[in-house]
Chain A
Amino acid sequence: MNLLTVENLTVTLATGSGEAQAVRNLSFNVGRGEILGVAGESGSGKTMTALSMLGLLPYKGKASGSIMFDGREILTSTKREYRDIRGKEIAMIFQDPMTSLHPMLTVEVQLTEHLRHHRKVSKAAARNSALELLATVKIPEPASALSAHPSQFSGGMRQRIAIAMALACEPKLLIADEPTTALDVTVQAGILKLLHQLRTDRNLSVMVITHDLGVLSSLTDRIMIMYAGSEVESGATSDLLQNPRHPYTKGLIAALPGNSEVNSKNLLSIDGMPPELGNFPSGCAFHTRCKFAKASCKETVPEVLNLSSDHRIFCPINPFSELSNSGSK
């Protein structure tokens, strides 16, 4: 049984000009010990999806559909119930470790806070767990790190501390929202290694949200690509990256600097811009930028098209189907 099963999730946000759907009819799941990557450009709804799982939607934000976590429905949880889920069952780390840690509190206070809240352990026991956690995330000299403030650490070390905080109550699912975007590549590689290690050691399920397909390639088992609040394609990481079938995924991968023609300085790009919240095009939201679009794409919301048991697209045209049949997969 999957740890997380999301069905028909729709998130509605209040904007200046009325309500707008940020996530539309999204269904996906995360297995135990699985790392799922969620990719898409800003405004594609990936962060709102994560926040709805934690009951952290912005003011007047509403979620409908179903989120089954570890066998129970959590979307209908009350505020108080969500407080028991957050940190204990599902934990989240954010892009910017500079702002997600409290600058005035020592690492010890921040690391032991939810242990003391969720587990009701003694101060000394919490301190011991905190030391272990810092060792797990490979912070040198954990004892002196406990009494230090976040400003005394570099960005990479702060992200490690944030991960230690998230792991404190041994959550079953870790949501990592752009966990390495603010870091240098040299430091990013270390964080990716750590997340991998945690999955292996603790059978932790991870949902990684990022626009960086390189990060997803080295970290994830499966990838879901989102556009304008909906899934456009999902599949096993190697299959999806080597044999993308939705025109948008194809475009994203072609736009990677490493994938353009070797002799040309020009990068391939997808014309136009991602649509803004509240202004998602009708039918298939990508039709305005899709070179394969037909008249029907403007009216009909695409149905799921299963290419294999673990690779699906939301595109009735399926323009690259012939490619894969004669394929070089």
Chain B
Amino acid sequence: MNEILNLKNVAVEYDRHGRKVRAVAGVDLTLNSGEILGLVGESGCGKSTLGKAIVGILSPITGEIVFDGQKVKKLTRGKRPEHFRNLQMVFQDPYGSLNPRRKIGVQIADGLIVAGMSKKLALVKAADLLEKVGLPRNAVDRFAHQFSGGQRQRISIARALAASPTAIIADEPISALDTSSQAQVANLLVNLVDEFDMGMVFISHDLSIVRRISDRVAVMYLGKIVEVGTVDQIWNNPSHPYTRALISAIPHADGTSFMPKDLPGDVPNPMSPPSGCRFHPRCPLAKAECASNEPELRKLADGRDVSCVLQTAGSQPVTITLN
């Protein structure tokens, strides 16, 4: 298992009417090949922005993103450096991310043709890829509107695969799909990661699916990572109050009339983030010091990282209980 992607202190800012909004405020992360890293958090926490920065759609104002040994640069109108062809993205909306006026085959073949393959060969390869994602070969001659949401998402995945990626950033790839397609597309992604030994960042707000398919999970709140660990650590013994709150809010579909717990308050405006720990205004366990001291990520004895004063570096995690 080797490291394919490394983020160091990445921050991304947007310009909102002349004011700077720091959507991602210093993120350290790594992704290994053959691994699915789930990236979760409420809407507005910066997870999609981070995904876009990783592939170079947005450029970070500080920090660096290293993919396979080279620093990721912002995409320009010019040709993307060949090295980064292996870093691909799959978007949430399979209706918006395919061109409605071009045949599916050409859209997949584009990347191959740019890479120097002949058009004829590229179209054959496109059909191979469609077959790989579970669609008929003759789909190359059809248009996006002739497919359902789940099928379109398969097409988007085939298009990303055309570049034989070693890392895929998937931003909410199954959120727009129906229940039966969700499971199918999630299974497809898991199998592809396995088959091609790719690394995948799986961005999602749905913790139950992340729990199922990921190896590791990173929890994000207001532009910062608050906890990273294995699925088992995060799910069974969350060590950050925010992670605990997220998990307690998931309804159980078991017919036991379990009532999920809500987390009062809203995600604060990133234009003026709270002082100290960004979660302290909503945290039921906040202490006085949390309003002034911003906790750093600390490594616990079980290998996970967490940024909370309740946890001590090098020790076993303290169990977090919310009332």
Which stretch of A73-81, A107-115, A259-267 is in the interface?
Answer: A259-267
**The stretch of B6-14, B62-70, B165-173, B208-216 that contacts the partner chain:** B208-216
Taking the closest CB of chain A, its distance from the CB of B35, in whole angstroms, is 12
Q: Which residue of A lies closest to B191 (CB)?
A: A266
Interface string of B167-206 (1 = CB under 8 A from A): 0000000000011111110110011000000000000011
Interface residues of A in 160-193 (CB under 8 A from B): 184-190, 192-193
Q: Are B253's CB and A184's CB within 8 A? A: no
B183 touches A255 (CB 8 A): yes
Q: Is the CB of B266 within 8 A of A154?
A: yes
Looking at the complex, which one of B178, B179, B257 makes contact with A217 (CB distance below 8 Å)? B257
Report chain B residues within 8 Å CB of A260: 212
Q: Contact: A188 with B249, CB < 8 Å? A: yes
Q: Does A71 contact B (CB under 8 A)?
A: no
Name B180's contact: one of A190, A240, A258, A269 (CB within 8 Å).
Answer: A269
User: Is B255 positioned at the interface, with any CB of A under 8 Å from its CB?
Assistant: yes
Q: Are B181 and A273 in contact (CB under 8 A)?
A: yes
Q: In chain A, residues 254-297, which have Cβ atoms closer than 8 Å to a Cβ of chain B?
A: 255-260, 265-274
Residues in A whose Cβ lies below 8 Å from that of B245: 186
With both beta carbons as reference points, the residue of chain A lying nearest to B209 in the complex is identified as: A257
Cβ-defined partner of A257 (8 Å) among B191, B212, B248: B212
Alpha-carbon separation in the docked complex, A215 to B255 (Å): 10
B residues 240-278 near A (Cβ < 8 Å) are: 245-246, 248-264, 266-267
Within 8 A of B (CB), among A89-122: none
Q: A185-B249, A256-B253, A258-B253 are in contact. Are A41 and B266 (CB under 8 A)?
A: no
Please measure, in the bound complex, the distance between the C-alpha atom of A241 and the C-alpha atom of B257, giving whole angstroms. Answer: 11
Q: Is the CB of A217 within 8 A of B207?
A: no
Asked whether B255 lies within 8 Å of A237 as measured between CB atoms, the reply is yes
Q: How far is the CA of A252 from the CA of B182 in the complex (A)?
A: 11
Q: Which of A15-23, A143-151, A206-214, A314-322 contacts B (4 or more CB under 8 A)?
A: A206-214
Contact B43 A184 (CB under 8 A): yes
Contact assessment for A257 and B250 in the assembled complex, using a CB-CB cutoff below 8 Å? no
Shortest Cβ gap from B296 to chain A (Å): 25
A193, B259: Cβ atoms closer than 8 Å:
yes
Q: Does B317 belong to the interface (CB within 8 Å)?
A: no
* A134, CB-defined interface residue at 8 Å: no
A326 to chain B, nearest CB (A): 20
Cβ contacts under 8 Å, A242 to chain B: 254-255
Q: CA separation between A237 and B209, bound complex, in Å?
A: 23
Residues on the B chain within 8 Å of A238, using CB: 255-257
A266-B255 contact given A188-B260, A190-B264, CB 8 Å threshold: no
CB distance from A270 to the nearest CB of B (A): 5
Question: Is B183 within 8 A of A214, CB to CB?
Answer: no
The answer to whether residues A212 and B251 also contact, given A217-B257, A238-B256, A257-B211 and a CB cut-off of 8 A, is yes
Q: How many angstroms from the CA of A41 to the CA of B181 in the assembled complex?
A: 10
- SS class, residues of chain A in contact with chain B: helix
Q: Which of B179, B183, B213, B262 contacts A187 (CB 8 A)?
A: B262
Q: Are B180 and A257 in contact (CB under 8 A)?
A: no
The CA of A256 and the CA of B256, in the complex, are separated in Å by 16
Q: How far is the CA of A42 from the CA of B182 in the complex (A)?
A: 13
Q: Are B257 and A186 in contact (CB under 8 A)?
A: no
**Of B186, B251, B263, which contacts A214 at CB under 8 A?**
B251
Tell yes or no: B42 within 8 A of A by CB: yes
Tell me the smallest distance from the CB of B135 to a CB of chain A, in Å: 12
- For A214, the chain B residues whose CB sits under 8 A away are 208, 250-253
Judge if A132 is at the interface, Cβ distance under 8 Å. Answer: no
Cα A304 to Cα B172 in complex, Å, equals 39
What are the residues of chain A within 8 A of B261 when measuring CB–CB? Answer: 189
Q: Would you call A253 an interface residue if the criterion is a C-beta within 8 Å of the partner chain's C-beta atoms?
A: yes
Q: With A217-B251, A218-B257, A258-B252 as given contacts, are A186 and B42 in contact (CB-CB < 8 Å)?
A: yes
**Quick one: which of B205, B208, B213, B253 has the most chain A CB within 10 A?**
B253
Question: In this assembly, does B51 line the interface, its C-beta being within 8 Å of a C-beta of chain A?
Answer: no
Neighbouring B residues of A241 by C-beta, 8 Å: 253-255
Q: Assuming the A-B contacts A241-B255, A257-B211, A266-B190, are A186 and B249 also in contact, with contact meaning beta carbons closer than 8 angstroms in the complex?
A: yes
Whether A239 is near chain B, meaning CB under 8 Å from some CB there, is yes
Contact of B251 among A42, A218, A267, A268 (CB under 8 A): A218
Which residues of the partner chain B approach A185 to less than 8 Å between Cβ atoms?
205, 207, 246, 249-250, 260
CA distance A259 to B179 in the complex (A): 14
Residue of A nearest to B190 (CB): A265
Question: Nearest A residue to B214 by beta-carbon distance?
Answer: A265
A217 near B258: Cβ-Cβ < 8 Å: yes
Q: Which of A200-239 contact B (CB under 8 A)?
A: 211-218, 237-239
A273 vs B148: C-alpha distance when bound (angstroms): 9
B249, A189: Cβ atoms closer than 8 Å: yes
Asked if B94 is an interface residue, CB under 8 A from chain A, the answer is no
Query: Is B251 within 8 A of A41, CB to CB?
Result: no
Cα distance A108–B181 in the bound complex, in angstroms: 42
Residue in chain B with minimal CB distance to A213: B253
Shortest CB-to-CB span from B238 to chain A, Å, is 14
* Alpha-carbon distance A218/B260, docked complex (angstroms): 7
Residue contacts A-B, CB under 8 angstroms, 27 given:
A41-B178, A184-B42, A184-B205, A185-B246, A189-B251, A189-B259, A192-B251, A193-B259, A214-B208, A214-B250, A217-B251, A217-B255, A218-B259, A238-B256, A238-B257, A241-B253, A255-B179, A255-B180, A255-B183, A257-B212, A258-B212, A258-B253, A267-B187, A267-B213, A271-B184, A272-B180, A274-B180
5 additional A-B pairs beyond A188-B251, A189-B248, A267-B182, beta carbons within 8 Å, are A154-B267, A214-B250, A238-B255, A255-B180, A266-B190
Binding site for A on B (CB under 8 A): 42-43, 148, 150, 178-184, 186-187, 190-191, 205-209, 211-213, 245-246, 248-264, 266-267
Which 8 pairs between the two chains have the least Cβ-Cβ distance?
Answer: A241-B255, A214-B251, A269-B183, A190-B262, A189-B262, A186-B263, A238-B255, A213-B253
